[in-house]
Structure 1
Amino acid sequence: MKTADLVDAHGEELQFCNLPFLKLGMRQAFCGPIATIKCFEDNALLKAELQKPGEGRVMVVDGGASNRVALLGDQIATILRDNGWAGIIINGAVRDSAEINQMDVAVFCLSLTPKKSVKDGAGRAGIPVQFGGVSFAPGAYLCADQDGVLVSARDLR
């Protein structure tokens, strides 16, 4: 279902993430329950969480809006795809955009950079994160397409 249709049918139940995301990958739209990561310029925890079965969930990453280093590149995007994640929203940067654009994935991010992140494992998983005027809670539902990112407490599709 298109995000515009969801807004028309369920406007009061939805939060709209007001950020100018870049949209990468061949998958144009995705929906699913939310899983979360909060990390800053370190993607080791993100990689570990994406190695778990995605089961159609959407990974939401609060990277502190950093554009200095990438939290995801083509190798981690491959893990995302292969483990059944519906898509990923990153409040931060991505690299390997040309390769990701050729993959059957959905990656929304704030910016691109060639620089890789550190791998210390800093961060937290499974906690509510906030950015773009929205609170993303694990287990809530996210729907995204070319028009934007919506969050609701329940599946409205």
Structure 2
Amino acid sequence: MDKRIELKDLTPDLCDHYEEDVRWLPLSLHSFGGRDVFFGETVTLRCFEDNSLVRDIVSRPGKGKVLFIDGHGSSTKALLGDQLALLAQKNGWEGIVVHGVVRDVGTLATLDLGVQAMGTSPIKTVKRQTGEENVTLTVVETLIYPGDMLYADRNGVIFSQKPLDLSVLS
């Protein structure tokens, strides 16, 4: 049984069952992808209004992984659009969470990819090849470590240091 499809409200159940093992990201995010529920090992990226490294990362195999992009909460330039999301889907990524904004949301909604972000902007980023990959992030006073497990649905995003057993949820 594929829990990604079956569970519509994954994070509340995980928080109830694993209260001491999870960290909630208290950030208002919207679901833009075709998958409302997604989870996987966290790959982190810190960048500001430059998504050059996003392309580099989603070009790699991503089965079982979720990219967390810390765009410093900027709402000026979209760090993810349809082309990069299609590339992520092609390479098997489970999802992408953006502390910032995305664009091409009509197309994002049709993809088999989880996408959460703070909002939208039609403006593309600059390309300077700047950013830091696989670094510990602090977003809204929440520490996000590379290799954390990230679980997301329309209720929010939570993290755990190790994979949580989803079979305990009914």
Aligned to 2:27: 19
Aligned residue number for residue 65 of structure 2: 57
Asked if structure 2 preserves the Cα contact closer than 8 Å seen for 1:66 and 1:93, the reply is yes
Correspondence for 2:43 among 35, 44, 56: 35
2:30–2:154 contact (8 Å) kept in structure 1: no
Unaligned runs of 5+ in 2: 1-6, 166-170
1:4-153 paired onto structure 2 within 5 Å: 4-153=12-161
Identity of aligned pairs, percent? 36
Instruction: State the 1:10 CA deviation.
Output: 0.7
Q: State the alpha-carbon separation in 1 of the partners of residues 106 and 79 from structure 2.
A: 16
Q: TM-score normalized by structure 1?
A: 0.97
* Local SS of the residue matching 2:61: coil
Distance 1:37 1:134 in 2: 15
| Aligned partner of residue 122 in structure 1, secondary structure | coil
Please give the secondary structure, in 2, of the residue aligned with 1:11. Answer: coil
CA distance in 2, matches of 1:146, 1:9: 18
What is the one-letter code of the residue matched to 1:114? P
Aligned residue type for 2:55:
K
For 1:140, give the aligned amino acid: D
- Contact in 1 for aligned 2:47/2:72 (Cα 8 Å): yes
Structure 1: distance between partners of 2:30 and 2:154: 9
Q: Which amino acid aligns with 1:54?
A: G
**Equivalent AA in structure 2 for residue 52 of structure 1:** R
Q: How many residues align?
A: 157
Where do 4+ consecutive residues of structure 1 move more than 3 Å?
A: none
Q: C-alpha distance in 2, partners of 1:110/1:13?
A: 25
TM-score where L is the length of structure 2? 0.89
Following TM superposition, by how much is the alpha carbon of 1:103 offset from its aligned partner in structure 2, in angstroms? 1.4
Whichever residue aligns with residue 72 of structure 1, its letter is L
Q: Tell me if structure 2 keeps the 8 A contact 1:16–1:133.
A: no
- State the shift of 1:105 in Å: 1.2
Work out the CA distance in 2 between the residues paired with 1:59 and 1:80.
9
CA shift, 1:140, in A, is 1.0
